């Protein structure tokens, strides 16, 4: 990548950081993307699954690179998080109170624009590249919304590739996992309903807080005693809500949290154990229990052929690592991988100390990795089109 394009991409990335679009409110970001793509001469379709944008680059068979009728998709996510930025010294800090790009999606969007620029300028390939700019990745169901809006029917692609920046991994290094990259995730709510009354007359009540307290402890037994120790799993209670007055036994207590897993069988076991524990505790203390268990993302699992294509492309661009374990974070690129074969990689963002980790109010994307990210996306697309 030449210096001029690298500097342009840095400017675009910092503009997006300064003007973040919260999940389901990415309209300005989508307009920015569409404008840049059209300026490159790329065919643009807006409003796919909400604020989604798809850019299509076609090159007919018979060009310098030989004939290919293949198609490939490249994905970048666009949405920001409801976090107040603490980077007061940054000239490109967020201008929208309570919203910031704390996960690097501004960099992901920009890198995909950079890949578009590289592919447009490169006459060595033929086929079709679909540039998928996805909204609402941060729990907003953006991938499923684009799929429901006919993404793979309207914009056919045989394979799809994506990436995420990874703090703590050396800047510009690309990590390719053998299978699972990230975990499935669910949000759960457990509600215990009892009988309210005076706190000085507890024998006349049915205290849901007692049930909730026992449940918090018992839920820890799911991973410790219900899941194969060789399988990764997480159950975390993160919210507890109950009570209105200090001299009243409340009528209701609610627990909320998240669960993560890497295999379908583990997820099924977690949900079954959670329901069994809640119902058993409710029966013990004369309460009623209701469990709402909602799966938000599936496991992100690389397909074998696409994993190898990604590894080959990565090695051609930068340093490749294949020894990293999966993370228990979630990624809704997983739903794209359920529709077509593909692979998802990590690209190192550099040191993660000093608050530079994902979802931290002091995070900022490392612009120095944009040439690597754009170069990888362009390279893996060309290799996929060539049949690698």
User: Which pLDDT tens digit goes with each residue over 247-274?
Assistant: 999 999 999 999 999 999 999 999 999 9
For residue 65, the model assigns a pLDDT of: 45
**What residue segments make up the domains of the chain, in order of their start?**
3-179+302-385, 183-297
Q: How much is the average pLDDT of 190-196? A: 98
Q: How much is the average pLDDT of 312-322? A: 98
Assigned CATH topology for domain 3-179+302-385? Aminopeptidase (3.40.630)
For residue 388, the model assigns a pLDDT of: 72
Q: Kindly report the CA angle at 373 between 87 and 301, in degrees rounded to 5?
A: 100
Q: What CA dihedral angle connects 104, 107, 109 and 114, to 10 degrees? A: -160
Q: Which residue, 328, 300, 332, 299, is CA-closest to 140?
A: 332
**Helix, strand, coil content of the chain in percent (nearest 5):** 35, 30, 35
Share of the chain above pLDDT 70, in %: 98
Q: Quick one: pLDDT band at residue 76, thresholds 50, 70, 90? A: very high
Q: Does the pLDDT value for residue 355 go beyond 50?
A: yes
Beta carbons of 158 and 303 less than 8 angstroms apart: no
For residue 367, the model assigns a pLDDT of: 98
Q: How much is the average pLDDT of 40-56? A: 98
Q: How much is the average pLDDT of 215-238? A: 96
pTM: 0.91
Taking residue 301's Cβ as centre, other Cβ atoms within 10 Å add up to 22
Beta carbons of 84 and 360 less than 8 angstroms apart: no
Q: How much is the average pLDDT of 193-217? A: 98
* CA-to-CA dists, residue 41 to 59, 289, 380, angstroms: 12, 58, 21
Q: Does the pLDDT value for residue 66 go beyond 80?
A: no
Q: Does the pLDDT value for residue 63 go beyond 50?
A: no
Q: Does the pLDDT value for residue 67 go beyond 70?
A: no
Residues forming beta bridges with residue 180, ordered by sequence position: 301
Q: How much is the average pLDDT of 90-106? A: 98
Beta carbons of 207 and 249 less than 8 angstroms apart: yes
Q: Does the pLDDT value for residue 222 go beyond 50?
A: yes
Measured CA to CA, the distance from residue 172 to residue 369 in angstroms comes to: 5
Identify the CATH number of the domain defined by range 183-297. Answer: 3.30.70.360
Span 359-381, pLDDT tens digits: 999 999 999 999 999 999 999 99
Q: Does the pLDDT value for residue 30 go beyond 60?
A: yes
Beta carbons of 350 and 315 less than 8 angstroms apart: no
Span 123-156, pLDDT tens digits: 999 999 999 999 999 999 999 999 999 999 999 9
């Amino acid at each position: 990548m030449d210096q001029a394009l690298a500097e342009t991409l840095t400017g675009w990335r910092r503009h997006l950081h300064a003007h973040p679009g919260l999940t389901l409110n990415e309209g300005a970001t989508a307009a920015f993307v569409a404008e840049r793509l059209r300026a490159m001469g790329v065919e643009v379709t807006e409003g796919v699954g909400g604020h989604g944008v798809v850019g299509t680059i076609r090159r007919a068979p018979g060009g310098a690179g030989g004939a290919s009728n293949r198609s490939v998709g490249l994905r970048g996510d666009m949405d920001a998080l409801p976090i107040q930025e603490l980077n007061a010294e940054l000239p490109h800090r967020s201008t929208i109170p309570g919203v910031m790009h704390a996960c690097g999606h501004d960099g992901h969007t920009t890198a995909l624009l950079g890949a578009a620029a590289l592919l447009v300028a490169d006459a060595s390939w033929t086929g079709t590249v679909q540039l998928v700019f996805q909204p609402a990745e941060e729990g907003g169901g953006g991938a499923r919304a684009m799929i429901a809006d006919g993404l793979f029917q309207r914009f056919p692609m045989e394979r799809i590739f994506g990436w995420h920046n990874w703090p703590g991994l050396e800047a510009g290094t690309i990590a390719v996992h053998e299978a699972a990259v990230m975990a499935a995730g669910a949000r759960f709510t457990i509600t215990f309903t009892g009988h309210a009354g005076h706190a000085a007359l507890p024998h006349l009540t049915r205290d849901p807080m007692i049930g909730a307290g026992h449940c918090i402890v018992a839920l820890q037994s799911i991973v410790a005693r219900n899941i194969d120790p060789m399988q990764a799993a997480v159950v975390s209670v993160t919210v507890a809500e109950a009570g209105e007055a200090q001299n009243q036994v409340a009528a209701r207590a609610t627990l909320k949290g998240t669960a993560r897993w890497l295999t379908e069988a583990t997820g099924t076991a977690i949900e079954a154990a959670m329901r069994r524990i809640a119902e058993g505790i409710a029966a013990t203390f004369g309460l009623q229990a209701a469990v709402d268990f909602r799966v938000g993302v599936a496991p992100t699992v690389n397909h074998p052929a696409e994993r190898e294509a990604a590894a080959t492309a990565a090695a051609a661009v930068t340093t490749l690592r294949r020894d990293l374990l999966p993370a228990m974070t979630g990624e809704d690129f997983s739903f794209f991988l359920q529709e077509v074969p593909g692979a998802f990689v990590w690209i190192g963002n550099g040191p993660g100390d000093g608050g530079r980790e994902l979802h931290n109010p002091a995070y900022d994307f490392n612009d120095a990795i944009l040439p690597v990210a754009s170069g990888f996306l362009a390279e893996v697309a060309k290799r996929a089109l060539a049949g690698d």
